Chain A
Amino acid sequence: MLRSAVRRQKGHPVRLTSLKHKVSTVCMIVLVCCTVFAAASEFQDRMAAVGPGEFHSVIPEGEKNEVIDVPGFLLDRRPVTNREFLDFSDDNPQWQRSNAFRLFVDASYLSHWLTATELGPNVAEDQPVIHVSWFAATAYCEALGARLPRWYEWEYAAAADATRADARDDPLWRQQILNWYATPGSKPLSFVGQRTANFYGVHDLHGLVWEWVDDYNALLVSDDNREQGGADKIKFCGAGAISMERKEDYAVLMRVAMLSSLEAAYTTRNLGFRCAADILEGTQ
């Protein structure tokens, strides 16, 4: 039931708004609303403030060259680690490998850990957690009183380099992303936070793992990326990326392509996540 609901979302153009899934119970939502106020200062340890601002996304929301407004938000400085996720699953055994509901995770969920409750000798606590599904990542963030970042938020934060909020015109910025793509995915992952923080104080947006975003299934890259025209303008053709705003930003496009290949229960070896939160009036 739930899965088919997600599939339906994937098959239809949905604006890039936060998609509330039925994963969280109503009860949970109420709880989240209560904890956001309480947790805002707590987030300042783990999260950095990004925005507000406006920018041209690689995926226009509507008309070409449309400027996207990004309200200010908080974003985890680092991807969530194995240690952090283990603590979460210890506290929430329903998200342990052996217990997780199969509609929410696929067969390789947390498969790199030795057991459901131990990382084992080959997995470091400070490596980013991988093999997590969208459902699991969402549950983790909700347990904090946070949420997954939305694509525009992620893209906006990731446009920065160490000194500039928007470094996307710099070929070096792009080449660094591509260099990661050219590194075979079978190599061990480095620890989180090893790379220089970006303009906002956020680490590892590029060069470590793919990351889930809340609205990944609204990105709507066609399964065959060369399709063009048709009813849905947001779909784009791969060769020319016709409706991509910045065709040369194929490095970002490849992240979109990756995310759009996923179902919410999928887990893969190079896919992790980090959390985000709204900046509430009076707390910043």
Chain B
Amino acid sequence: MKNRKLSSSAAIGVVLCLSFSLISCDTPSRNNTNLAQERILMETGGSAAGDFGPPVGEPIIATLTSAPDVPPPIDRNTPAKLIVNLEVRELEMPISEGVMYTFWTFGGTVPGSFIRVRQGDTIEFHLANHPSSKMPHNIDLHAVTGSGGGASSSFTAPGHESQFTFKALNQGLFVYHCATAPVGMHIANGMYGLILVEPPEGLPPVDREYYVMQGEFYTVGKYREKGHQEFDMQKAIEENATYVLFNGSEGALVGDNALRANVGDTIRLFVGNGGPNLVSSFHVIGEIFDKVFTEGGTHYQENVQTTLVPAGGSAITEFRVEVPGTLVIVDHSIFRAFNKGALGMIKVDGPENLAVYTGKEVDSVYLGDKVKDLTAVAEVATAYSTTGEVTIAQQIAAGEVLFAGTCSVCHQLDGSGLATVFPPLAGADFFLADTTRAIDIALNGLMGPVTVNGQSYDSVMPPMSQLNDDEIANILTYSLNSWGNDGGRVTREDVAERRASTERPPGAAH
């Protein structure tokens, strides 16, 4: 006992020394955040150090927001009494395009409303259950110190309201969820959200804060089977998810709903995982997390690619975006991303920074198993140089090789694209309707919304003007004659004409 005490105080000593030495090395620009930095290296004292006395001033009605929005930072130096009004609604809403599901929600959305409080605040919690609800519900907030996290005090019949009060003693990012039997089913229907307990000095300012919460859904029908889908308990028990989603629906963070940022912004993502079963391998394609407050706690890890977010747990990730483009949020347990819906987007606007990232460079060496025999390409080139003529068959053969190297990453080798993210070329009305437009898109790229086969897409395709006229002609001819498409031909002359008549967008090659 005595030894343990000694060693722990020694550890604190080491931590203190470390923090002082770091602070002394700090550049002036970092001094503003010294307090926060210092806290991060020191122990917070946990719940024993989290009571700052009785609430000061009049009670405040807490601002609640729906994902992906986060309430504004708290601008207070004293503990307050905060009144949280949260309403449970059972609502039929789309889970994917053309697929409806009856969600059980905190505040009418999945995930539930984001709650933001300051450590030491006294929270008077009102849980109302809408009269149209069929089920009784309650709430367990992981931020509560006390029996059931509030669940035993908030069991609420439809058309009624419960109230309980707690003091937020521990700082951190906490999950809340419904804990009414069967608990797993209530969570599987969307009953979870996040409550942030800010440290008393607040969090360092950032340019953007967003709320992203993963959860998986178990439906009787298959993935994307249309119509109303019912909950499937057996699949839930087997942990065989039909959907794995960010923010409760497949379209929640793509297209027009993508998160936005500008080059140079520092983004803070409050990430939660409601489960009910799966642990998330949270990753943002095209970024590295500068900081991750693992498990929503106080201390951070730096320079992280992928962070685990437990079911019923959280993480805070921070990163600065350096170049424009679309960052893709995924659960890197990757079949969930491409086959169960765990995809989101952050669109970053601003000037290119070629020193950091050049954009797409074709280099066959990097293409690995997608590199096919380049003989066909050489054959076309030879044909042109000797006879000035190529056959459509030669073009298709060459185009197949080039397509695999340049286009298939997004549009897929079978031309099927990725629904809601990258449009298809196979049987695609948009592509087949206008060959001249297709040449222009290959040359100049395409940004902004388009509708392909009734599905709306809002992604960015970079200009492919680094490809020469032959290459673009061959790729398009191959695409027009593949995957059931009904034929057509694009020649080098067609491409040359479009290239000559089109103004190059800034930054595009050639």
Contact = CB atoms under 8 A, between A and B. Distances in A.
Interface of A: 106, 108, 171, 174-175, 178-186, 210, 221-227, 236, 238-239, 241, 248, 250, 253-254, 257-258, 260-263, 266-271
Contacts of A183: 102
B192 to A, nearest CB: 15
Nearest to A262: B157
17 contacts: A106-B160, A178-B231, A181-B134, A182-B102, A182-B228, A182-B231, A224-B155, A226-B151, A226-B183, A239-B182, A248-B233, A253-B182, A254-B185, A257-B180, A257-B181, A261-B180, A266-B160
Nearest to A248: B233
B85 interface: no
A223 B140 CA distance: 11
Nearest to A250: B182
A261 B179 CA distance: 13
A262 B156 CA distance: 8
Contacts of A108: 131, 159
Interface string B108-142: 00000000000000000000000111111010100
B181 A254 contact: yes
B90 A185 contact: yes
Interface string B90-104: 111000000001100
B398 to A, nearest CB: 53
A186 B159 CA distance: 12
A244 to B, nearest CB: 9
Interface in B73-105: 90-92, 101-102
A224 B147 contact: yes
A258 B138 contact: no
A204 to B, nearest CB: 15
Given A223-B153, A267-B159, A239 B233 contact: no
B231 A227 contact: no
Contacts, number: 118
Nearest to A180: B134
B294 to A, nearest CB: 26
Interface centre among B101, B152, B180, B231 (most CB of A within 10 A): B180
Given A238-B181, A262-B157, A178 B147 contact: no
B157 A261 contact: yes
Contacts of B155: 223-224, 261
Interface string B153-184: 10111111000000000000000000111111
A190 B310 CA distance: 43
Query: Do most interface residues of chain A lie in helix, strand or loop, or is the interface mixed?
Result: loop
Contacts of B230: 175, 178-179, 182
Contact of B183 (A106, A238, A263, A267): A238
Interface in B398-445: none
Given A108-B131, A223-B153, A227-B152, A238 B180 contact: yes
Interface residues of B, number: 37
A258 B220 CA distance: 24
A224 B152 contact: yes
Interface of B: 90-92, 101-102, 131-136, 138, 140, 147-148, 151-153, 155-160, 179-185, 220, 228, 230-231, 233-234
B135 A181 contact: yes
B179 A226 contact: yes
A226 B132 contact: no
Interface centre among B140, B147, B160 (most CB of A within 10 A): B160
A269 B147 contact: no
Minimum-distance CB pairs A-B, first 6: A238-B181, A261-B136, A225-B181, A224-B148, A224-B152, A186-B132
Nearest to A263: B157
Contacts of A210: 134
Given A184-B90, A184-B102, A261-B156, A269 B131 contact: yes
Contact of A239 (B90, B158, B184): B184
B420 to A, nearest CB: 25
Contact of B152 (A222, A257, A260, A262): A222
A223 B182 contact: no
A185 B181 contact: no
A106 B161 CA distance: 13
A221 B160 contact: no
Contacts of A178: 230-231, 233
B449 to A, nearest CB: 31
Nearest to A266: B157
A224 B157 contact: no
B183 A225 contact: yes
A267 B78 CA distance: 42
B92 to A, nearest CB: 5
Contacts of B220: 175
A225 B179 contact: yes
A183 to B, nearest CB: 7
Contacts of B182: 238-239, 241, 250, 253-254
A238 B135 contact: no
Contacts of B184: 239
B179 to A, nearest CB: 6
B90 to A, nearest CB: 6
A183 B101 CA distance: 9
A262 B135 CA distance: 11
Nearest to B219: A182
A260 to B, nearest CB: 8
Given A178-B233, A268-B159, A185 B133 contact: yes
A258 B136 CA distance: 5
Contacts of B233: 174, 178, 248, 250
Contacts of B135: 181, 254, 257-258
Contact of A223 (B90, B134, B151): B151
Interface centre among A175, A185, A224, A257 (most CB of B within 10 A): A224
Contacts of A239: 181-184
A122 to B, nearest CB: 15
B92 A184 contact: yes
Nearest to B182: A250
Interface centre among B132, B134, B156, B181 (most CB of A within 10 A): B181
B159 A224 contact: no
B335 to A, nearest CB: 26
A118 to B, nearest CB: 21
B333 to A, nearest CB: 23
